[in-house]
Amino acid sequence: MSVAHLHQIRVRYAETDQMGVAHHSACVAWLEEARIEWLRARGRSYRELEAGGLLMPVVELSIRYFKTLRFDDVATLSTTAVCPGPTRITFTTAVLIGEQRCLEGVVTVAAVDPSGRPVRIPPDLRS
């Protein structure tokens, strides 16, 4: 059973739109930040992974929006991950304010080398 990794963000003013809420695109960068912090919590720097030739481009992304987030809100991103195959990781991140789930994102990344060929996810990231 996977333990969720927790990360906090605060909604930036630049991330709002004229509906007075966080624009629906803003969370895409939050989800990415949560994945990078998930890796760091596993002892992995994504910067170093890339420098070492392991890239993780996004191949699929889906987000369901339940409740709007507002400027200056502090939200918790709760992330779990599974490997649907030897060269992919799927991250599921809930963005919460208190107990309220505001949105949920599911993002699949592919592990590739700099030329774009699939490579195996390192064992320590697969368990």
Judged by CB, which is closer to its own copies: 1, or 44?
Answer: 44
Residue span binding its own copies (CB under 8 A) among the ranges 23-31, 74-82, 86-94, 118-126: 23-31
CB atoms near residue 37 (< 10 Å): 18
Question: Of 2, 8, 53, 70, which one interacts with its own copies (CB under 8 A)?
Answer: 70
| C-alpha separations of 50 from 19, 65, 93, 125 in Å | 37, 31, 22, 15
- Considering the rule CB under 8 A, would residue 57 count as an interface residue with its own copies? yes
Per-residue x/- mask for its own copies, residues 3 to 22, rule CB under 8 A? ---------xxxxxxxxxx-
Closest CA to 103 of 40, 34, 43: 34
- Considering the rule CB under 8 A, would residue 71 count as an interface residue with its own copies? yes
Q: How many residues bind its own copies (CB under 8 A)?
A: 36
Helical H segments across 12-112, by residue range: 26-41, 46-51
Total count of residues recorded for the chain: 127
- Considering the rule CB under 8 A, would residue 97 count as an interface residue with its own copies? no
Q: What angle do CA 6, 113, 30 make, to 5 degrees?
A: 25
By annotation, the residues acting in catalysis are 17
Residue ranges binding its own copies (CB under 8 A): 12-21, 23-25, 28-29, 32-33, 36, 45-47, 50, 55, 57-65, 68, 70-72
